[in-house]
Amino acid sequence: MSDPQRPRASLRTAVVWEVLKDALERRAKATGREAVGGEAVHGALDVLDTGGGSGNFAVPVARLGHHVTVVDPSPNALFALERRAAEAGVADRVRGVQGDAHGLFDVAERGGYDVVLCHGVLEYVDDPAEGLRNAAAALRPAGTLSVLAAGLGGAVLARALAGRFTEARQALTDPEGRWGSGDPMPRRFTADQLSELVTAAGLEIAAVHGVRVFADLVPGVLVDTEPGALDALLQLEEAAAELPAFRSVATQLHVLAERD
């Protein structure tokens, strides 16, 4: 998987990364455990990344000086995580364990983390509400939860623009937001659905963002060949992320929430 700090990958992760980085800074200041110059002070933050795979966010978070535990069901992903963390010089701050959202507390500590990431998990678990409750229960008091999930509107728009109008309508009306039996995504959410799940888990929503509003629709050749196009597109994504009209057609939705 790509590092959110690399230019091309940033098209897909820039909004989430900036929101997450700010949230980490605020939480570190609130706890008095800030990371200075990439070095942890008093252990910095304890971060849990559920479904974190090969370290797309875990390694950059560790570079900030925080300690990250990654829970993922794939041994191959965890092996890649270990290699990536070593290459980045943060192997001592990243720990990978095999597990999943439903059995989270078989491998992770309940109420033991300042920040929990639940990225790309709710689309695949059998019970999203249970998975989110577990993620919330892993937080310490006043902890922060970052949720990233597939957005319904983005899939409908993409199918329609590809001339797949029947599939677009199917996704729009299907309870799981799927466009057909060949759809590789098990489930998609609207912003309201995702927000309701987060609230039901006992958390207070701090922000909701649309992710990849334009990035998946713009031909790659334009971004690669036009001078300044990448930066301009990144700025456009960030400007549109919080606007409800654009959020509703984003490929992914990001919710930042806090535990009382």
Domains and CATH numbers, the chain: 43-151+189-259 (3.40.50.150)
What is the pLDDT at residue 47? 98
Looking at residue 1, what is its pLDDT? 37
pLDDT tens track of the chain, all 260 residues?
344 444 455 677 889 999 999 999 999 998 886 555 544 444 589 999 999 988 999 999 999 999 999 999 999 999 999 999 999 999 999 999 999 999 999 999 999 999 999 999 999 999 999 999 999 999 999 999 999 999 999 999 999 999 999 999 999 999 999 999 999 999 999 999 999 999 999 999 999 999 999 988 888 777 777 888 888 888 999 999 999 999 999 999 999 999 97
pLDDT of the residue at 10: 66
The per-residue pLDDT for 33 is 67
Per-residue pLDDT at 218: 83
Per-residue confidence (pLDDT) for residue 83, from 0 to 100: 96
Q: Are strands 139-150 and 113-119 parallel, antiparallel or unpaired?
A: parallel
Per-residue model confidence (pLDDT) at position 34:
58
Q: What are phi and psi of 166, to 5 degrees?
A: -65, -40
* pTM, entire model: 0.90
